[in-house]
Amino acid sequence: MIAHRIVSTVPFSGQKPGTSGLRKKVTVFQQPHYLENFIQAIFDSLEDSARQTLVVGGDGRFFNRPAVQVILKMAAANGFERCLVGQGGILSTPAASCVIRKYHAFGGLVLSASHNPGGPQEDFGIKYNIGNGGPAPEKVTDAIYTRTGVIDSYRILAAPDVDIDSLGQRILGDMTVEVIDSVRDYVTLMQNLFDFNRIRDFFRSGFRMRFDAMHAVTGPYARAILEEMLGAPVGTVMNAIPLEDFGGHHPDPNLVHACDLVQTLHGPDAPDFGAASDGDGDRNMILGRMSFVTPSDSLAVIAANAHLIPGYAEGLAGVARSMPTSSAVDRVALKKGIRVHETPTGWKFFGNLLDSGAVTLCGEESFGTGSNHVREKDGVWAVLMWLNILAVRRKSVAEILRIHWRGYGRNYYSRHDYEGIDSAAADAMMTHLRATVPGLADRRLGSFTVACGDDFCYTDPVDGSVSSRQGVRVLFTDGSRIVFRLSGTGTEGATLRVYVEKYEPDHTRHDQNTQETLAELVQLANTLAEIRERTGRTQPSVVT
Question: Which residues form the interface with ligand G1P (CB under 6 A)?
Answer: 20, 322, 345-347, 364, 366, 487-489, 497
- Say if CB 295 and CB 368 are below 8 A apart: yes
- The least distance separating ligand G1P from the CB of residue 370, rounded to whole angstroms, comes to 11
Residues 6+ apart with CB under 8 A from 246: 61, 117, 118, 119, 214, 215, 216, 279
278 scored as a contact of Zn ion (CB under 5 A):
yes
In the complex with Zn ion, the residue whose CB is nearer, 61 or 101, is: 61
User: 58 φ, ψ to 5°?
Assistant: -150, -175
Strands 82-90 and 175-180 turn out to be: parallel
- Say if CB 128 and CB 140 are below 8 A apart: yes
- Residues paired with 485 in a beta bridge: 497
Asked if 277 is an active-site residue, the reply is no
Strands 339-343 and 318-322 turn out to be: parallel
Q: What is the DSSP letter of 260?
A: H
Q: How far is CA 533 from each of CA 44, 255, 406, 484, 529, rounded to the nearest angstrom?
A: 48, 30, 40, 16, 9
Which residue's beta carbon is nearest to the bound Zn ion? 114
- The least distance separating Zn ion from the CB of residue 127, rounded to whole angstroms, comes to 10
123 scored as a contact of Zn ion (CB under 5 A):
no
- The least distance separating Zn ion from the CB of residue 246, rounded to whole angstroms, comes to 12
Q: Which of ligand G1P, Zn ion, none lies near 487, with the C-beta cut-off 5 to 8 A by kind?
A: ligand G1P
- The least distance separating ligand G1P from the CB of residue 471, rounded to whole angstroms, comes to 9
Which residue's beta carbon is nearest to the bound ligand G1P? 487
Element (H, E) at 55: strand 53-58
- The least distance separating Zn ion from the CB of residue 92, rounded to whole angstroms, comes to 9
* Given 59, 227, 282, 364, the residue binding Zn ion (CB under 5 A): 282
Q: Quote the crossing angle between the two packed helices 397-408 and 379-393, to the nearest 10°.
A: 90
CA distance 114 to 24: 12
280 scored as a contact of Zn ion (CB under 5 A):
yes
- Say if CB 53 and CB 105 are below 8 A apart: yes
Q: Which of Zn ion, ligand G1P, none lies near 489, with the C-beta cut-off 5 to 8 A by kind?
A: ligand G1P
In the complex with ligand G1P, the residue whose CB is nearer, 30 or 487, is: 487
- Say if CB 127 and CB 20 are below 8 A apart: yes
Largest CA distance in the chain: 76
Binding to Zn ion, residues 390-409 (CB under 5 A): none
CA distance 321 to 94: 18
- The least distance separating ligand G1P from the CB of residue 127, rounded to whole angstroms, comes to 11
- The least distance separating ligand G1P from the CB of residue 157, rounded to whole angstroms, comes to 34
- The least distance separating ligand G1P from the CB of residue 374, rounded to whole angstroms, comes to 15
Q: Which of ligand G1P, Zn ion, none lies near 280, with the C-beta cut-off 5 to 8 A by kind?
A: Zn ion
The one segment of 33-41, 77-85, 278-286, 390-398 that binds Zn ion by CB under 5 A: 278-286
CA distance 298 to 383: 10
x/- map, 520-539, Zn ion, by CB under 5 A:
--------------------
In the complex with ligand G1P, the residue whose CB is nearer, 129 or 366, is: 366
In the complex with ligand G1P, the residue whose CB is nearer, 480 or 495, is: 495
- The least distance separating ligand G1P from the CB of residue 469, rounded to whole angstroms, comes to 13
Residue type, 286: I
Q: Which of ligand G1P, Zn ion, none lies near 278, with the C-beta cut-off 5 to 8 A by kind?
A: Zn ion
Q: Which of ligand G1P, Zn ion, none lies near 89, with the C-beta cut-off 5 to 8 A by kind?
A: none
Q: Which of ligand G1P, Zn ion, none lies near 417, with the C-beta cut-off 5 to 8 A by kind?
A: none
Q: What is the DSSP letter of 324?
A: T
Alpha helices in 287-348 (DSSP H): 295-305, 328-336
**Catalytic residue (choose from 20, 45, 112, 114):** 114
The one segment of 185-193, 273-281, 408-416, 422-430 that binds Zn ion by CB under 5 A: 273-281
Q: How far is CA 21 from each of CA 121, 175, 182, rounded to the nearest angstrom?
A: 19, 25, 22
In the complex with ligand G1P, the residue whose CB is nearer, 250 or 497, is: 497
Q: How far is CA 94 from each of CA 15, 78, 91, 234, 441, rounded to the nearest angstrom?
A: 26, 26, 8, 24, 42
Residue type, 111: L
Q: Which of ligand G1P, Zn ion, none lies near 147, with the C-beta cut-off 5 to 8 A by kind?
A: none
- The least distance separating ligand G1P from the CB of residue 479, rounded to whole angstroms, comes to 22
In the complex with Zn ion, the residue whose CB is nearer, 278 or 297, is: 278
CA distance 75 to 66: 14
417 scored as a contact of Zn ion (CB under 5 A):
no
- Say if CB 55 and CB 24 are below 8 A apart: no
In the complex with Zn ion, the residue whose CB is nearer, 216 or 240, is: 216
The one segment of 107-115, 301-309, 447-455, 472-480 that binds Zn ion by CB under 5 A: 107-115
In the complex with ligand G1P, the residue whose CB is nearer, 467 or 489, is: 489
Q: Which of ligand G1P, Zn ion, none lies near 364, with the C-beta cut-off 5 to 8 A by kind?
A: ligand G1P
Q: How far is CA 186 from each of CA 103, 192, 285, 299, rounded to the nearest angstrom?
A: 12, 10, 20, 22
Beta strands per DSSP E along 399-536: 410-421, 444-445, 448-455, 458-459, 466-467, 472-476, 481-486, 494-504
In the complex with ligand G1P, the residue whose CB is nearer, 182 or 366, is: 366
Residue type, 33: H
In the complex with Zn ion, the residue whose CB is nearer, 195 or 280, is: 280
Q: Which of 393, 432, 415 is nearest to 533 (CA)?
A: 432
* Given 9, 49, 78, 114, the residue binding Zn ion (CB under 5 A): 114
* Residues contributing to the site for Zn ion (CB under 5 A): 114, 278, 280, 282-283
Q: Please identify every residue annotated as catalytic.
A: 114
